[in-house]
Structure 1
């Protein structure tokens, strides 16, 4: 699928559903940073976690998010499109983004959808971590907000002259050279560990 630097895919004929697929990036970033801070505050104020536990489980949650991001990108967003239904789902989830990578209004899931996922993950992680869920999920949500920020910067601006440049190059390789590598957006960690780092020349 050849990238198109201009334009926008139409995903639904229903105008309401179509409009819901677009969002300004500042909205979900703000929502999830506020929720992450609120969860840490609630956990600390109600003695579910102390300060050291909050920091430790927050970092753990952030690390967990980078793995979830990698796995979702590699195995869900780039699923095999061997049936018409899977092809349609893949295009709605992610294929349209590869076709129109400069569409700034589709660089994040609609907040309603992402909030539903966040609620589901809260209850799953509560079963695993118990009262420490407030630190873990705060880290996961903050990681998601940082992913959205990095993803937007990569697609909306020229390569920055700071540490973000390497992430810009990494994700650009995924979009414009080889979509089967470089699945990590906010971090290349799992690409290193799981063998999907792109092979780059010395000039890259």
Structure 2
């Protein structure tokens, strides 16, 4: 197994101040229910718009919605692996990486930092809507709805994995995988809402073969 790249020991409790500006610092904290509710409302609005303002059939809207949901799991994996765990080549990149994700690895039990600030989430969602619309036109509404639903589910599962002890249901495997990523080896198990892409790209725990 590859060794962890973390340069700090994770703390189970507490938080850390990131900005001297009190407004910026406050924006880095949010209750998990706020972004989840906003994302699901945004997704619902996109579905309503797609069904009432476009000529796309309901069956196709549903299919595109689930494609968007699946695409989110790939985006989640890619972002987590290559952006959140990038190897900083400068002090600026190191600070950005720490602010975006390093602080979460250092304080994994900080419940108020398990999601991006709601304002940032809504801004990125709107930028994505414009980007997807340029690529796929009217299909972008149901595609982004699925994508945002995937993000909301990710936030929900990520919160459960950090805020509660190992569950006695199907979430237990995800809890184990994510705990390995945090406390044993941060170079594996990048998928949080799904281990699918970890299996596809081989970023799973390598167990030694018994002799």
Q: TM-score under structure 2 normalisation?
A: 0.93
Matches within 5 A, 1:124-203: 124-199=131-206
- Give the whole-Å Cα distance in 2 for the aligned partners of 1:107 and 1:45: 35
Q: 1:13 aligns with which of 16, 20, 23?
A: 20
* Residue 116 of structure 1: aligned partner: 123
Contact 1:53 1:135 in 2 (8 A): no
Per-residue deviation, 1:48: 3.9
* Deviation sequence 1:49-68 (CA, Å, 0-9, x none): 22101110000000111111
Contact 2:73 2:193 in 1 (8 A): yes
* Worse overlay, 104-113 or 73-82: 73-82
* Residue 9 of structure 2: aligned partner: 2
Per-residue deviation, 1:81: 1.9
- Give the whole-Å Cα distance in 1 for the aligned partners of 2:93 and 2:19: 16
**Alignment coverage as a number of residue pairs:** 202
- Give the whole-Å Cα distance in 2 for the aligned partners of 1:195 and 1:162: 25
Unaligned runs of 5+ in 1: none
Instruction: State the superposition RMSD in angstroms.
Output: 1.3
Unaligned runs of 5+ in 2: 1-7
Matches within 5 A, 1:44-55: 44-55=51-62
Q: 1:85 aligns with which of 79, 92, 96?
A: 92
Contact 2:54 2:138 in 1 (8 A): no
Contact 2:10 2:106 in 1 (8 A): yes
Q: TM-score under structure 1 normalisation?
A: 0.96
- Give the whole-Å Cα distance in 2 for the aligned partners of 1:198 and 1:7: 29
Task: Report SS of the residue matched to 2:45.
Answer: helix
* Worse overlay, 22-31 or 119-128: 119-128
* Residue 5 of structure 2: aligned partner: none
Q: 1:95 aligns with which of 80, 98, 102?
A: 102
- Give the whole-Å Cα distance in 2 for the aligned partners of 1:125 and 1:137: 8
Are 1:28 and 2:35 counterparts?
yes
- Give the whole-Å Cα distance in 2 for the aligned partners of 1:200 and 1:16: 46
Runs of 4+ aligned residues of structure 1 deviating over 6 Å after TM superposition are none
Contact 2:50 2:56 in 1 (8 A): yes
* Residue 69 of structure 2: aligned partner: 62
- Give the whole-Å Cα distance in 1 for the aligned partners of 2:56 and 2:207: 44
Contact 1:48 1:132 in 2 (8 A): no
Per-residue deviation, 1:125: 1.0
